[in-house]
Amino acid sequence: MKEMKKRLVLVPASFIFCAFLLLPLLFMVLCSLHSDLTNQWTLANYSDIFSNKYYTQAFVNSVLIAVSSSVIGLIGTFILCLCLMNLSTKLQEKITFVSNLAANFAGIPLAFSFIILLGNVGVLKMILPFLADFNLYSWWGLTITYTYFQIPLGVLFLYPSMKEVKKEWLESAQLLGASSAYAWFKVALPFLRPSIASTFVILFANGMGTYETAYALTSSNVNLLTIRIAALVSGDVFAKPNLGSALAVDLGVLLVTAMLIIQKKGKVVQT
């Protein structure tokens, strides 16, 4: 009887999982195999994507921005976590709380904030002369904007693992003659490598899937995959939702492939 009750508890969770994940995913895959003109089964959507340089450029731009913002964000995350470990417990809790808020501060509000700070007549550009030539509405502008929410998001995932690094491990290495940096490189980093790889995957997926911030800053001036999908679904001139579904499927395959490769390499190095 108890086992039956436990199984019944899974029914609502299974319904939510199917309704909000499996069914939309299945619908998207089926739509990607239909033509927007004839509504017949076809693979023309995928062939159009890989033969059209415009969509290939969208893939390349999205990957470059996601990788660059993830790498910069991961470095900033690691430095911030190192600083947090030297603070009091109460101050650590306050900073992690602020990081949680900053990680969710994205989309149009974030774009508007950066426009006020670094736009053409932004506050920082007016105060700091060396920022006069900086263009927020460019590839580097997007990378810096992405990094703003990548670092707090990385702290939420990497900081708990860094707290598990024992001071005794580092002190033992230093007693044997190792420097502090060498002790971190040889003792702490191998322990943290799976967490670092997982955090990078999350940041990369977050960077690849960002839409509102990029669209609010650059509209269609920077060719990104999420902007192309939205344009095909809503239709700048006329809608091609099935082609947009094919782009979305390719995006999902890319993210899953990146996740599997990074996790596999992390396991190989760890062993």
**pLDDT at residue number 22:** 85
The span from the CA of 258 to the CA of 200, in Å, is 10
For the whole model, what pTM was predicted?
0.86
**pLDDT at residue number 236:** 60
The span from the CA of 269 to the CA of 261, in Å, is 12
pLDDT mean for each 10 residues of the chain (271 residues)? 68 79 88 85 88 90 92 92 85 85 82 89 87 86 90 90 83 79 82 88 90 86 88 77 91 86 60 47
- How many Cβ atoms sit within 10 Å of the Cβ of residue 245? 23
**pLDDT at residue number 2:** 64
Quote the distance between the C-alpha of residue 249 and its chain's center. 17
Within 85-218, where are the H helices? Answer: 89-103, 108-118, 123-127, 139-163, 167-175, 180-183, 189-209, 212-218
The span from the CA of 209 to the CA of 251, in Å, is 9
| Whether 256 contacts 187, CB under 8 Å | no
**In this structure, what token pair is assigned to residue 121?**
């007549």
**pLDDT at residue number 268:** 46
**pLDDT at residue number 130:** 84
| Whether 114 contacts 34, CB under 8 Å | no
The span from the CA of 112 to the CA of 104, in Å, is 15
**pLDDT at residue number 256:** 87
